[in-house]
Structure formats: structure tokens, C-alpha cells
Structure 1
């Protein structure tokens, strides 16, 4: 059985509605899952007019109502966007709508009605204008799902990278890393891949210092003190984990297929190789939620919203990853 995937519209004044309208017309992506939209129906209809979509738009009240017809876009209508909202303009209404779309998606995911959420881009300033003080999607999803800690995983062609730390300065990131945090990150990534059907994922953990520290020559023993305990604990639990390995060669080995998952220690260590390999096809995955969440790795692009020039390929890739990472439903009744 196909996984059930909800696309949330994101900020309705941005490119989210357009990329959804374009992506839902792709017959190949419709084979990847039973895909429907959570958003404002009138706004999606307007976006469909912008991109000259030939599809039919159909309101549903529950994922069980999905017709799974490639000529139809099913949508749970959260009627909250003013009909005259201009494209490309910051607004509290669009920020509040983005929150409501996510809130409904999490409700369905926590109830087991859907397998994955694929999020359209939101605008953090609009979110804050609406009174929702979240730094972004990740923190909002974690709070709504009641989860204290999650990890960011980026995917690109031939590579998956999960991060021990993300939005911290380098000095602060190194201070934050310890064996427990490294272990939890390994375990979260390993668990996600196992649930998606990968029997024994091969995981490689990056070192912090150049050349893996060269046995203490570089750095202050961070590999032994901060990284190795987490690797050892994961290995003791039966996970196929190696490291800490020098990052300058590790990513090359991963890109040729030696490893299924790389554990990066800090933001740029993981982001740079992924974006070099495929900025257009990069996908952001939130790991540690009780459901799959993927996202396009771009923003609301207010400057081109409503002009039918946005590329929807990143959303197609995010939907592919949502389908690939979703639990196997073949045993369901």
C-alpha cells in the first residue's frame, strides 16, 4: 500500500501554493504515495490558475476520503486566507495560516491517519507577526508532537547526513557535543532508516578535528572524549557504526555508496557537501518525530511568488523522500 503523505501549504503568500499545484500534476510522484494537501482551498485554486493546472480540486475532510486520482488534487480546506491576499507580501494572516496547516497535519499524523508530512516553505517573520514564536518548522513540529529533541538530516543524491548540532557557532557547537548527544543522533538516524525498510544501515561518524585529530596532534582530544563514547555505545547495541573518521575523506566515501548515513558534528560540516552534491535536490528531514517529515530546502521566495517561474523539482524530491522514508504499509489490512 502507498504511504499517505500530507503536503502543508506553508506561507500562502509565497511560492508554496504554486509548487504544490505543479508537483501534484506530476504522474510519477503520484505513484509514490496517496498525496493530499492541507491548506486554503481558494488560495490553491488561485495558484492552479497561475500555473494553468488542468487538475480538478476536491475538498475532503479526512485522509480516508482521498480518491488517489492523478487528475484530482484532494485538499483538507483550512479556510483562513483572505481572498485578496497579495502574492509576495509579508502578512500575519499568512503566518497564522501556515501554523494552522501544520497543526492539522500533526493532529492527523499523531492519530496515525497519515505517514508523512511534507512541508511547504513558511516565513518566520510572518509566523511571529501572527503570534507564533517559533524559530521555524522544526521547533513547531517538535512542540506540537510533544518531542523534546530532534535532529536535522539533509539528503542529496547518494548521501544522507544527520547533524549532532546545527544552528550554533563553531565554538559553541564543539562545547555542546558529547558522547550522549552523539549516541542519540546515531540512534535516531539508524531508527528512521530501519523503519523505512533498511535492514542494517551502515553509519559513519565524522570527527571534529582535521584528519580525525591525528591521535591528539590536532585539537584537544575531542574525538576520544566527545565522539568515541557515543560510537562505542551504538556499536554495543548492535548498530553498524564506524568512526570517528576524518571528514575530508568520509563524505567522498559516503557519496560513492560506502555508507547509508553520515553523522556530521556541526552545521557546515554536514551542509556543505550536501549542497555541493545537489542544492536543487536537497531535502531537509526532521528525525526524531513520531512520523516522517520532509521539507523543501528553500524559502518562500516572495520576489517570484505568483509569477509561474518557480521550480517545483525540490518539492518533488521532498515528496520522493517522504515516500521512501515512510513505514511499510504492505502488511496493513
Structure 2
């Protein structure tokens, strides 16, 4: 077993850890001399994460349900552009916005000089997949990063090539930023060359947003069903009768909730029938979407029912960090009763399998966080680590799995301990998602692992406060689409390799 190298010669990470010692020659794991998280934490200085001063504007979360029909408020320090023609010239023809985003990420990466070296230590298949993904995303360097100016007047249906994936995109709450980030993301030329986008929504609603965002010269192909789509254009399947509906950006309305569910239901039906390779869901409002047919806390739970899956994993992923959660959308008061040995084991199994088949990591290394402050301080602040988490991780390591912890969440993220692992398993929602969104908000993606079908979404909410103001950043939606494509390709390759191995074993017998 290869031991991971420190960032600089002779310098080790300052990470609070219970990571066992790995013998480089024998590959055995020795846990006898490992220190507790509490012991390590007291010795380690916490490094402050440097913020990129040029970070893009963040898309916020939906307003509470009691603010229904509240007036739209502009975010501080942001002004609505007066001349949208300037934005059209700069963003669509030169790709200036996307280039700026790449420069921001490069500056951020410049503060973390060792991440590239760590990624190079990954297995060959993962490096190849990551290289393909980066090549796909670097659509500015080769001159193909400009937005599509459109001017298409007559849809031309075309045959689907073997490598062109059909990606469904549900509209979400049309009074939030969903329609805006979808339209902005789908205007990049490279995206249209590697997949066929199908928006499940409303042509009328999208046309209103096109006018609002000054995208009048970019046409969409309307289709009644998935069988009528064009593989050369962005397609729209209208999912509800919307003749009398109009958009009210920034307002929570029951009509928008009903429409969001209609779009989701239609898209999931096509996904279940195998007509889509993956589904990307735009943000919904969990309050106004509730109905007799939708009584779920979010997309994840609804999809689990539709596909007959007993359990799945909310998996937040980005280029630098992957975080899964044990309890998901569970009220904080009920977290403890849901943190059980069986549940942690199930989530670790789902995470391990997803890292292998969806992200191409042959031998995943996973960090597990503790439930209590300072991972329990050897029982002083709680016994869950001593009684549940540690014994389970020891058992799994004895079986050859690379699972380590439990780590105190604050020290683990404060010292960037996540950089030594392929993924992190948090015990509850905010323990994992707060640091994830602090580190990777603009490019973060919510991926539902453990499902027979592929579903991703941006990691932000409806952001009513900036809806309809041309302020929403499409980066997370763009990354959600690319992640769906990457996962679909990785999963296909994994299944082909697995089938080939089984066939070889059968022949040898």
C-alpha cells in the first residue's frame, strides 16, 4: 500500500487525526500508537483559510415560508446593470465572465500549491477521468468558450451519436434563479457539442426570462415529447398548461410550486424509461412544492421513492472536496437517534461504491467526522465516537478499507485535512454542508449517490432576493451538468470493465 507523501519535503500536515500508521512494506495497518482527535487537536495550530478577494457573487437560499409575497430586495453592494447590451457584447461574444471565473479559481488554487501534486497521486483511471473532465471544462483556452449567439430559425432534427448524452434539466421554481442559471449555462458552445440538453419546463416562461436577460437572439426548440427533440439545439418540453401564468421573480407562489413538481415528475418519468442519460434539477422551494403527490423534504427523498431505493447518499462534490452526510434532511433534534452503526455503515458503503463507479477512484480513502464537539474528548463530551464510530472504523480497516477517524469537524476543515482524502463523511447536514459551501460554493454540485439513475443539481437555493435581476452566477449549474456527463461516462466505463472481468472469469472456468 502506497503511503501518501506530505505537501513539502520533510513537512507534515497539521491535521488532528486518529489515522493509523500504515506499514509501507507489508501494507498492514497499526492502530496501537494512533493518537485521539482530542490529543491531536490541542497541539495543532488552526490555519485560517484565505478567501479569494475576487470571488463571484453567491446565489442565496430561499426565503422562509412566512415571507410569502415579500417584495424583492436587492443584495447589498450589487447593482442591476443599466445597459444589458454591454453584457451581451462582453459575455456572449468574448466569454469574459467565464474567463474571469477561471482566473479566480486559478488564484484560489495558487493559495493551495500542493493540491495538483496530490491529485497526481491518484490511480491512473481517476487521473484519466479527471483529465478528460478538465479538458471538457477548459472551453476558454481553445477559443470555444464564447456563448452561442443563436440565430437559429428552423430546428433540424438529427440522429444521436453514440457519445452524445441526453441530459434532462428540470426548471425548478420559476420565480427563483433556476431559469436564469439554466439559460446562462446552456449558452456555452462546448456544452452543446457534448450533450443534448432537454429542459423540462415551459417555453412561455423561458421566453419571458430570455427577454428579461436580453437573450432574444438565441432560439429554443419546442418539443411535445422526448421523441421530438433535436440533437443540435437546446430543447424545451412544456410540462403544464401555462397560457395564463406569468413570472413573479422573487415571490413564493403556489402556482410556481405546482409547476416545479410537474416539471420534475415529467423528467423523472423519462429518466425511469431510459430516455435520459442523467437529470439535473434546478432549485425548488421545499414549502410551495408540497402537495398530496409530493410530501418530501427535497429532491433526494422523492427520487428514492420513485426508483424504489431504500437508501441513498447526499453527496456534495467539487474539484477539491467531496462530502457526504449520514443523516441528511433530518431535524437537528433527531440527529442523534439516527446516528447508528448500521446507518454509518450503509452510508460508507454507498460512498465507497460511488467513488469507484462514478468518480473512477479504485481504492477510495475516506475520512469520517465525529458527532460531538472535539469528537467526544474520549467520552467527556459524548460517547458516540467511543461506542459506535471508532469500533466500526476499526472493523472496516481490518477488512482492508481505507476509512479513518473520527475527526473533530472544526479542526479537520480548519487545517484542510480533507485534502488528504478522496471524500469526507459527516454525521449531519450542517456539519458537512457549511464547510463545503464555504470552500466550494461557486463550483459545488449536489449529487445523489446510490441511485440506479444519475441526478445532480447546483448547490444553491432559489435565491429569491436576486431572481430576475441578471445577477445569478451560473457556474454551479454549469458544473452540475458537467458532473452529470462525467458520472454517466465513468459509470458506463465501470460497468463495461466489470462485465468484461466477469466474462473473463467465466471463460477461464
On whether the aligned pair clears a TM of 0.5, the verdict is yes
Choose the corresponding residue for 1:204, options 342, 367, 374.
Answer: 367
Residue 163 (structure 1) shift: 0.3
Q: Distance in 2 between matches of 1:272 and 1:305?
A: 23
Relative to structure 1, is the Cα distance of residues 324 and 231 closer, same or farther in structure 2, using a 3 angstrom cutoff? farther
Could you tell me the TM-score, scaled by structure 2's length? Answer: 0.58
Q: Which deviations, in whole Å up to 9, do the C-alpha atoms of 1:286-315 show, x marking residues without a partner?
A: 223222221122222334333333222221
Q: Distance in 2 between matches of 1:42 and 1:222?
A: 53
Q: Distance in 2 between matches of 1:92 and 1:116?
A: 28
Residue aligning to 1:165:
327
Partner secondary structure for residue 288 of structure 2 = helix
Residue aligning to 1:137:
299
Matches within 5 A, 1:1-333: 1-31=163-193, 33-53=195-215, 54-61=217-224, 63=226, 66-69=229-232, 72-88=233-249, 89-128=251-290, 132-170=294-332, 172-196=334-358, 197-214=360-377, 216-232=378-394, 234-235=396-397, 238-251=400-413, 252-256=415-419, 258-328=420-490, 329=492
Residue 184 (structure 1) shift: 0.7
Q: Distance in 2 between matches of 1:254 and 1:66?
A: 46
Over aligned residue pairs, what C-alpha RMSD do you find?
Answer: 2.8
Q: Which deviations, in whole Å up to 9, do the C-alpha atoms of 1:63-115 show, x marking residues without a partner?
A: 5655443xx21122213334442323333332222112111222222222223
Q: Distance in 1 between matches of 2:367 and 2:480?
A: 24
Relative to structure 1, is the Cα distance of residues 209 and 84 closer, same or farther in structure 2, using a 3 angstrom cutoff? closer
Q: Which deviations, in whole Å up to 9, do the C-alpha atoms of 1:256-287 show, x marking residues without a partner?
A: 3x211100112222122112212222322222
User: Given that residues 192 and 325 in structure 1 are in contact (C-alpha distance below 8 angstroms), is that contact kept between their aligned partners in structure 2?
Assistant: no
Long gaps (5+) in structure 2: 1-162, 498-509
Q: Distance in 1 between matches of 2:323 and 2:430?
A: 11
Could you tell me the TM-score, scaled by structure 1's length? Answer: 0.86
Aligned residues: 328
Partner secondary structure for residue 289 of structure 2 = helix
Q: Distance in 1 between matches of 2:252 and 2:411?
A: 43
Residue 327 (structure 1) shift: 4.3
Residue 233 (structure 1) shift: 5.5
Long gaps (5+) in structure 1: none
| Bigger share in strand | 1
Residue 121 (structure 1) shift: 1.4
Partner secondary structure for residue 326 of structure 1 = helix
Q: Distance in 1 between matches of 2:446 and 2:374?
A: 28
Q: Distance in 2 between matches of 1:203 and 1:104?
A: 36
Q: Which moved more, 1:177-186 or 1:204-213?
A: 204-213
Q: Distance in 1 between matches of 2:408 and 2:183?
A: 43
Relative to structure 1, is the Cα distance of residues 105 and 231 closer, same or farther in structure 2, using a 3 angstrom cutoff? farther
Residue 120 (structure 1) shift: 0.9
Partner secondary structure for residue 126 of structure 1 = coil
Partner secondary structure for residue 43 of structure 1 = helix
Q: Distance in 1 between matches of 2:268 and 2:218?
A: 27
